[in-house]
Amino acid sequence: MKSILASIDGPNHKWWALVVVQIGVLMSTLDAGIVAVSMPTIMGQFHARVTMIQWIVLAYLVVITVTLLPFGRLADMYGRKQIYTLGFIIFTGGSALCGASGGVEQLALFRALQALGASMLMANGMAITSAVFPARERGKALGIGGTVVATGTTIGPTIGGLITQWLGWRWIFYVNIPVGVIGVVMAILVLRNKEITPALSSRPRFDLAGALIAALGLLALLLALSGVDQIGLPEDATPALYGVAVLALLAFVLVERRVREPMIELGLFQSKLFALGSGAGLLAFLAISANAFLLPFYLQLILHYPPSQAGLLMTPTSLVIAVVAPISGWLSDRMGARLLSSLGLAVVCFALFSLSRLNMASGYGDVVLRLVLLGLGQGMFQSPNNSSVIGSVPRERYGIAAGFMSMMRNLGMVMGTALASSLLASGLLGTVGHANLAVLGDPSAVGNQTLIGGFMTGMERAYLVAAMIAATGILASLSRGGSFRGRAAAVSHQEPSQASAPAGRSREP
């Protein structure tokens, strides 16, 4: 025990801190895949409607998205160790309550509680990693994080299927409890506030007005994108929700310009690295999430693969990311993010275009090759882009920058899924007179060539639009400025103790 504590306090401390962060990352990514695969079982046990069962996922996503910015700011103010450890506690307690739920309504409520803990972890994990690692190693550390995310994404559905089949769906939540306890203990022992939280001369005030306005706007946007029919509102409520989101954005900008200590300093967006890097991240996840929505339908309903085989076929992307992400992070420490991120998005764009060329005669190898390319592009893009954005802000703003980036990722995923669903439905609407995707689950309907043709038309449109979005992301990535070669660390990557440049000043080529 003494040797372990000595190692924690020694030169390997940054690696112990990375382990603590990655426990939270692995737990949250595993949970997403595990819960998704158990939805049919939960729906059958509670005899719930599909529109209600979707709130088990929707409640989790909405709560995380609207609370990332506040938790990032609170961590900068009151200590990242406290917020991160509390996140472990709330996530673990919420998991226990989810497992004990007596109905879908309770489960959705406890998933929202679980999401509060997950948001605390997500808003601070990247900030903690960036604080404990010197700038010359930041890309490598964030690349390891990308590998953990890919690993959790890859094995989550498999583990979820095994647990649901052999132990019951409640154990997909109970399995989080021992992992969460380990995370709490390690966070208490390993993390040091003096190292991961900047020293403040005075205690700042929390921007409550900005937090509430941002939460209102994001909630309205997410509900509009997810479909008002799922919350019992009429279809004509969608324009009103978009209107609320736009008004909230304008009000948020006005409030943040006037308050002394804003939720997010608008001056950060004067930095091309921060603004365009964040924008490229949003566009990347918007494009990539289309594939996550479309491919399961295509594999199971058009190529007729069973769910187990379809799930296995979707793993190449995550496996390639797990290999490529740490390499691209290591390279970005030496050559900067502009070239790697831009090339990564170019590969993503080509992969999405090639996915639009899939047809009813495509085989196993056709799909795998395209998914390998997609994983290669994602792995090349994510670690360098994350390192670039985090490195563009002062050290005392790592928390809010990490929270903002996570919010952009979630927004991209929601918007991409909604857009892909709409384009897929438009293909069906144009050929069979309706856009109800449920008919694809009817075995007799699947054999209808007109219906299949409508599906393929909609899928092609969705992939092509996703490819165009990725191409726009390339322009954003290139426009961040800087050199395409040379050792970035020598030019711009400052050590954490030196990272005190004013907001808005770029510090990477």
pLDDT digit string, tens, across residues 411-425: 887 788 778 877 877
User: Is residue 433's pLDDT more than 60?
Assistant: no
Amino acid at residue number 64? I
3-state helix, strand, coil in the chain (%, to 5): 80, 0, 20
Burial-class residue 155 by CB neighbours within 10 Å (0-12, 13-18, 19+): middle
- Report CA-CA distances (Å) from 412 to 17, 23, 30, 269, 343: 29, 24, 20, 19, 20
Q: Which of 180-194, 324-338, 373-387, 456-470 has the lowest mean pLDDT?
A: 324-338
pLDDT (tens digit, 9 = 90+) per residue, 347-380?
999 999 999 999 988 888 899 999 999 999 999 9
For residues 152 and 26, the answer to whether their CB atoms sit within 8 Å is: yes
CB-side neighbour CA atoms (13 Å) of 77: 15
- Token pair listed for 371: 């998914």
> What pLDDT does 494 receive?
41
- Judged against a pLDDT cut of 70, whether residue 70 lies above it is answered with yes
Residue 222 CA: distances (Å) to CA of 36, 325, 455, 479: 19, 29, 25, 29
Return the CATH fold of 270-509. Answer: Growth Hormone; Chain: A; (1.20.1250)
pLDDT at residue number 462: 92
Question: Which region, left, alpha or beta, applies to residue 79 given φ > 0 means left and ψ of -120 to 50 means alpha?
Answer: left
373 vs 498: CA distance, rounded Å: 38
164 pLDDT exceeds 70? yes
**3-state SS track over 114-134:** HHHHHHHHHHHHHHHHHHHCC
pTM: predicted TM-score of the whole model, two decimal places:
0.71
- Kindly state the DSSP code that residue 200 receives in the 8-state scheme: -
Query: Amino acid letter at 11?
Result: P
CA distance 76 to 130: 13
Single-letter amino acid code for the residue at 167: L
Characterize 372-385 residue by residue with b for buried, 16 or more Cβ atoms within 10 angstroms of its Cβ, and e for exposed: ebbbbbbbbbbbbb
Tell me which residue has tokens 């504590």: 5
- Among the ranges 329-338, 339-348, 440-449, 450-459, which has the highest mean pLDDT value? 339-348
The residue with tokens 């079982």 is 41
Q: Which of 60, 69, 9, 2 lies closest to 35 in space, CA to CA?
A: 60
Please name the CATH architecture into which domain 1-201 falls. Answer: Up-down Bundle (1.20)
Rounded to whole angstroms, what are the CA distances from 39 to 45, 96, 107, 110, 160? 10, 18, 12, 15, 10
**Contact between residue 114 and residue 95 where contact means Cβ atoms under 8 Å apart:** yes
The predicted pLDDT at position 231 comes to 58
Contact (Cβ atoms closer than 8 angstroms) between residue 337 and residue 388: yes
User: Would you say 19 and 138 are in contact if contact means Cβ atoms under 8 Å apart?
Assistant: no
CA gap 330, 323 in Å, rounded:
12
